[in-house]
Amino acid sequence: MKIDVLLGLQWGDEGKGKIVDVLTPQYDIIARFQGGPNAGHTLQIDGDKHVLHTIPSGIFHPEKINIIGNGVIADPYILSQELAKLVAKGVNPLVNLRISKRAHLILPTHRMLDAAYEQALGAGKIGSTLKGIGPCYTDKTARYGLRFGDILASDFTEKYNSLKNRHLNILKSYNFDHNIQLIDKIPFDEYEKKWFEAVSELRAFPLIDSELYINKALAEGKTILAEGAQGSLLDVDFGSYPFVTSSNTIAAGVCSGLGVPPSAIGKVFGVFKAYCTRVGSGPFPTELADATGELLRDNGKEFGSTTGRPRRCGWLDLPALRYAIMLNGVTDLVMMKSDVMNDFDTINICTGYEVNGQITQDLTYETLSNPVMPIYESLPGWKKSLSGISDYNLVPENLKLYTDFIEKDAGLPIKILSVGPGREETILK
Ligand code: GDP
Ligand code: IMO
Ligand code: MG
């Protein structure tokens, strides 16, 4: 069997979590392949909202195995909190969650370093989620990192102290006193204690060689969905660098993040919002710093699932979407949140940009490093509620005009249309 992939085509928060949950019945295994607790994937099941950060979004289906892959980095404390919240809702993750021994650990000092680096950048800060993502992936590539497999070793505390001391020396050079700074409003020593308690708890979990598990499952004909975090425009290679995350968020990340060959990739579901959002700093060509932007934020409840920060909002950007489709080899488009624009008279779509007096239809290095003027096409709004629609034939004509316009430009069909946060508010085309 092939492994299907689901990932974000914009700057994250496209609604990946909801669609993974909706598609999970079609798969045996759901596996996260990159990122860490910078992610916030929201599921709304029977009106109950649940946000996942490290755990795959198939976890509410007890008969489906959920894997935290080797490409993921996890903070044991945040993970243990996530587990506790699931247990409180009657889910027993011990039954269907597996963690790769090769997944790296986010230490409390990684979070301190993240804060110190952001503070030093001042106005030029990345707008990191302050979960320690950049520093942890840095240690991974610098070959200092600690992995889940290490928590089983008798010298784990020594290894931890050695890495911690390395971090404390760096923090000193930034004049960053870890004894004064808080993590999630908790003093360092207390957080570190909770972190070690969480590590002890996780020793009881099935820690596996996930690459062996996944390849064996594929050979046995099992179906697997790889769940992405963040979005293609936050990819460390192709995103709006340096305002990106520290992992490969694109489909290529599935191969290194789960240990599967490129030939094993099947469908690629590319999830995008009917407009655009971004949280944190960095270029955003179609951003609306006006009343329309505020309306998108209010209607779409565009506040970060992980940090609560207001998300920046703007019109759909087709050159950026085409770029993401190209990078990922998307086969199936999934459009989210068109319901947010139900009341709009007119909807703009960006079809190109003017950069340094030149017109381009491509998202190039220059378009992400210079001020750009988006070029818009205007379409009429549908001015109707989408509530209760489950058949694409019953969708308002002007929404069909909108989806047709996007499909023609993208050269791909929109296979799923999401018209509300709930599982059931999903139209399969
Ligand atoms: P993810 O990180 O890609 O999983 O997305 P987030 O969970 O961070 O953000 C998506 C937000 O939109 C969540 O609050 C979802 O509950 C919500 N949502 C998902 N699909 C829809 C939709 O079709 N319409 C509306 N109005 N909200 C949606
Ligand atoms: P999900 O999976 C939206 C953004 C941060 C910041 C930049 C770097 O929920 O879509 P980091 O903490 O990774 O060093 O931050 O990336 N960012 C996200 N934005 N959704 C996410 O995840 C994000 N994860 C990171 O806001 O701009
Ligand atoms: Mg999110």
**Contact between 270 and 332 (Cβ < 8 Å):** yes
Q: Is the pLDDT of residue 398 over 90?
A: yes
Q: How far is the CA of 271 from the centre of ligand 1 (A)?
A: 11
Ligand 2 in contact with 239 (CB < 6 A)?
no
Strand segments (E) across 236-395: 265-273, 276-278, 312-314, 316-317, 332-336, 346-355, 358-360, 372-380
Predicted confidence at residue 131, as pLDDT, reads 98
Residues sharing a CB contact under 8 Å with residue 298, sequence separation 6 or more, in sequence order = none
Tell me: the pLDDT tens digits for 260-298? 999 999 999 999 999 999 999 999 999 999 999 999 999
**Contact between 419 and 402 (Cβ < 8 Å):** no
Residue 233, token pair as written in the block: 């425009």
Q: Is the pLDDT of residue 307 over 90?
A: no
- For 39, other C-beta atoms within 10 Å of its C-beta total 30
Predicted confidence at residue 261, as pLDDT, reads 98
Mark out the alpha helices in 5-146 (DSSP H runs).
Answer: 16-23, 76-88, 93-96, 108-121, 133-142
Q: How far is the CA of 12 from the centre of ligand 2 (A)?
A: 7
DSSP states along 136-148: HHHHHHHT---BG
Ligand 1 in contact with 37 (CB < 6 A)?
no
Ligand that comes closest to the CA of residue 231 = 2
Ligand that comes closest to the CA of residue 271 = 1
Tell me: the pLDDT tens digits for 140-190? 999 999 999 999 999 999 999 999 999 999 999 999 998 888 998 999 999
Tell me: the pLDDT tens digits for 80-126? 999 999 999 999 999 999 999 999 999 999 999 999 999 999 999 99
3-class SS letters over 359-411: EECCCCCHHHCCCEEEEEEEEECCCCCCCCCCCHHHCCHHHHHHHHHHHHHHC
Tell me: the pLDDT tens digits for 199-236? 999 999 999 999 999 999 999 999 999 999 999 999 99
Give the max Cα distance, the chain: 65
Which residue's C-alpha comes closest to atom 28 of ligand 1? 421
Q: Measured between alpha carbons, how far is residue 103 from residues 49, 98, 151, 334, 412 in Å?
A: 27, 11, 11, 29, 34
Respond yes or no: is residue 290 known to be catalytic. no
Ligand 1 in contact with 32 (CB < 6 A)?
no
- For 44, other C-beta atoms within 10 Å of its C-beta total 17
Q: Per-residue confidence at 16, pLDDT binned at 50, 70, 90?
A: very high
Ligand 1 in contact with 418 (CB < 6 A)?
yes
Among the listed residues 4, 13, 75, 235, the single catalytic one is 13
Q: Per-residue confidence at 133, pLDDT binned at 50, 70, 90?
A: very high
Q: How far is the CA of 123 from the centre of ligand 2 (A)?
A: 18
Predicted confidence at residue 303, as pLDDT, reads 94
Mark out the alpha helices in 220-259 (DSSP H runs).
Answer: 252-258
Ligand 2 in contact with 336 (CB < 6 A)?
no
Q: Per-residue confidence at 305, pLDDT binned at 50, 70, 90?
A: confident
Query: Which of 70, 69, 74, 83 minimizes the C-alpha distance to 36?
Result: 74
Predicted confidence at residue 1, as pLDDT, reads 87
Ligand 2 in contact with 280 (CB < 6 A)?
yes
Predicted confidence at residue 306, as pLDDT, reads 78
Between 370 and 415, where is the model more confident? 415
Q: How far is the CA of 32 from the centre of ligand 1 (A)?
A: 18
Q: How far apart are CA 363 and CA 4, in angstroms?
A: 26
Q: How far is the CA of 127 from the centre of ligand 2 (A)?
A: 8
Predicted confidence at residue 202, as pLDDT, reads 96
Tell me: the pLDDT tens digits for 366-389? 999 889 999 999 999 999 999 999
Q: How far apart are CA 41 and CA 139, in angstroms?
A: 26
